[in-house]
Amino acid sequence: RAGLVAIVGRPNVGKSTLLNELIGQKVSITSRKPQTTRHRILGIDTREQVQTVYVDTPGLHIEEKRAINRLMNRAAASSILDVELVLFVVEGTRWTDDDQMVLNRLIAAKKDVILVVNKTDQVADKEKLMQQLQWLGQQLNFLEIVPVSAKNGKNVAELRALVQKQL
Ligand code: GDP
Ligand code: MG
């Protein structure tokens, strides 16, 4: 089996870090500075039973005044269209208008979506995270909701297994 999986989310949520962890290689540049990923990066994870091709999208950019942002929005939007599965990455500690915009696009795209709640290592208040997860779970009929820490590799193997199960 083989499948194409898009990693989407607003800038800085940890998409590139997650891609690198998922495939165990540093193919995508990660940075504290938003908008480091300027074009699509592919990561290929070849296992015995299943080959997964991940697409690390440039974040969606709400501000469309700059031509580069318009282009990046198009690249990100098109990469959502031709994949079988979307990993929607958000931060465990905050929800912004940009997250909402990406969510709206996913709802419109009618794709299978796994919600990845990243940076759980930064979450001090577990109770608040649980409430956040519950609220997020009501926004779209996600296949799965998976909390991870991409930076520490926490729960990433479990996420990979869930992805492979869907393909
Ligand atoms: P992208 O813009 O969505 O591709 O985000 P990046 O992967 O470039 O990461 C943005 C910043 O968040 C970088 O400074 C990363 O080191 C950091 N980051 C990514 N994942 C985690 C995580 O699980 N925990 C913490 N604390 N920081 C993270
Ligand atoms: Mg990136």
Among candidate residues 25, 21, 29, 16, the one with its CA nearest the CA of residue 55: 16
Mean of the per-residue pLDDT values of the chain: 84
Q: Nearest 5°: phi and psi at 149?
A: -120, 100
Testing ligand 1's pocket by substitution, the residue of 16, 28, 30 carrying the most ligand atoms inside 8 A of its CB is 30
Q: Is the dihedral of CA 60, 26, 18, 13 positive or negative?
A: negative
Best mutation site among 7, 12, 152 for ligand 1, i.e. most ligand atoms within 8 A of its Cβ?
12
In this predicted model, what pLDDT tens digit does every residue of 23-50 receive, in sequence order? 987 666 666 665 555 556 678 888 878 8
Residue list, ligand 1 pocket, CB within 6 Å: 9, 11-17, 30-32, 36-37, 59, 118-119, 121-122, 149-151
Q: Residue 154: pLDDT above 70? A: yes
Complex-level ipTM? 0.99
Find the angle CA(59)-CA(62)-CA(64) to the nearest 5 degrees.
Answer: 105
Give helix 156-166 / helix 15-23 axis angle, nearest 10°: 80
pLDDT, one tens digit per residue, over 61-92 is 445 556 666 666 666 666 566 788 999 999 99
